[in-house]
Amino acid sequence: DVQLVQSGGGLAQAGRSLRVSCAGSGFSFGAYAIGWFRQAPGKEREMVSCINTRDGSTYYSESLRGRFTVSSDSTANTVHLQMNSLKPEDTGVYHCAAMILCSYSRGEWRRVGLRSDWWGQGTQVTVAA
């Protein structure tokens, strides 16, 4: 069975850092992309970052660029989202999800093969002002 298990997150003051991780099993981790989604309180879930583990290409929404870094550890089948210079508006539940391919261009995300059942359990990130 495919499993995506998240860890990390928590509470941080604005300007500080947190990391959330997503460990995958039950599929060829290196052949898929891992996307990160965020759902802020009272808002719809939005995709914020992704990495194609096949070639290491990474993408970020404009609000995250320069502050967050997504990386892949192939030896551990784990993707990390390093969150620096946190802002209160980064608060939300972060989910990882596996898909075949991802990209971001001109404000639009492309998500190929995103499945409803290949998601992590979600991790709370709270940034205090």
Asked whether the beta carbons of 102 and 112 are under 8 A apart, the reply is: yes
30 pLDDT exceeds 90?
no
The string of pLDDT tens digits covering residues 57-73 is: 999 999 888 999 999 99
Please state, rounded to an integer, the average pLDDT across all residues of the chain. 95
Alpha-carbon span 97 to 91, nearest angstrom: 19
Q: What 3-state class would DSSP assign to 60?
A: strand
Alpha-carbon span 96 to 73, nearest angstrom: 15
If you average pLDDT over residues 82-101, what whole number do you get?
97
The string of pLDDT tens digits covering residues 100-129 is: 999 999 999 999 999 989 999 999 999 999
Q: What 3-state class would DSSP assign to 89?
A: helix
Structure tokens at 45: 């879930």
